Structure 1
């Protein structure tokens, strides 16, 4: 089967996630096409695509604009294929932040009309060298408020690679079963 992975990233963690998902799919014998929405202009053909995995990071409560534009403009094509949406955020790393992380997904689905087959909140990463003073303060006092993490001390990756791999495997299994021809009658 052919899987299209479309991602939007700001600091690079979502690209790392998309690459890991691609490698996992290829190990399972899948043909994979990987697309970065920040590098896309114009429309894209979905011919020959059996399923889609969308992955995007959250910054300032939103997924990247080019990613959301892609999703909104591809809504019809996406609705005809099994779709897994991976929303990458720091809020997803903490039990008390998961509700807010889900709000980011719900708001994006309202803006774009996306109705994925499956969705997963994926914990992101802190890239200390990526933040100016203001961004570091917002990260520390808003995004990570109440958490025992110092974003200025070092980079920290919260992504649970085993959970991600298990979710992608579940998506592959569920969509492969749905595509098998019925037998009997």
Structure 2
């Protein structure tokens, strides 16, 4: 099988997740093509057997590149197995309101693009103060301090549960090869 893995990222963590996913799919013996959405706009997704799309949430929205790609390719994506990796810090916590917010963001995205992913996995992202501009660093420090009182606000921290993500990815791959 040939799987397309595409991503949009702000600080690089979603790219790390997408690369990891592509490597894992390749380890299952499948052919994989990895690209940022900005480089995939003219790509014929119909030549793939499935697609993994990954994007992070910032200020209540996914990156514009994902929305453009999904909107343009909604029909073809709807005809193949798809896995959407929605990356956010909210997915790292257990706050019910944060999870309802993730559902609202996803519903808004589906309405705006007319694409409904076959499977969605909410993936905990990373707190990366070393990558933030001064404005984002200020905002993110306040968010993290409010959620995790003893957090080191100057250190990068990866909240991704790689084992759980691997299990989700393996399950999706097993499901599509049946």
* 2:130 counterpart residue number: 129
For the structure 1 residues 116 and 149, does the alpha-carbon distance in structure 2 shift closer, same or farther, using more than 3 Å as the test?
A: farther
- Deviating more after overlay: 145-154 vs 75-84: 145-154
* 1:104 counterpart residue number: 105
What secondary structure does 1:53 align onto? Answer: strand
Structure 2 segments unaligned to the other structure (5+ residues): none
* 2:166 counterpart residue number: 165
* 1:87 counterpart residue number: 86
Counterpart mapping for 1:1-185 below 5 A: 1-40=1-40, 42-96=41-95, 97-142=98-143, 145-148=146-149, 150=151, 152-177=153-178
Distance in structure 2 (CA, Å) of the matches to 1:83 and 1:141: 35
What secondary structure does 1:24 align onto? Answer: helix
For the structure 1 residues 59 and 151, does the alpha-carbon distance in structure 2 shift closer, same or farther, using more than 3 Å as the test?
A: farther
**What is the deviation of 1:61?**
1.0
TM-score (normalised: structure 2): 0.91
For the structure 1 residues 167 and 60, does the alpha-carbon distance in structure 2 shift closer, same or farther, using more than 3 Å as the test?
A: same
What secondary structure does 2:148 align onto? Answer: coil
Root mean square deviation, CA, Å: 1.7
Distance in structure 1 (CA, Å) of the matches to 2:145 and 2:176: 36
Structure 1 segments unaligned to the other structure (5+ residues): 178-185
TM-score (normalised: structure 1): 0.88
For the structure 1 residues 114 and 35, does the alpha-carbon distance in structure 2 shift closer, same or farther, using more than 3 Å as the test?
A: same
8 Å CA contact 1:8, 1:37 repeated in 2: yes
What secondary structure does 1:115 align onto? Answer: coil
Larger Cα-atom Rg:
1
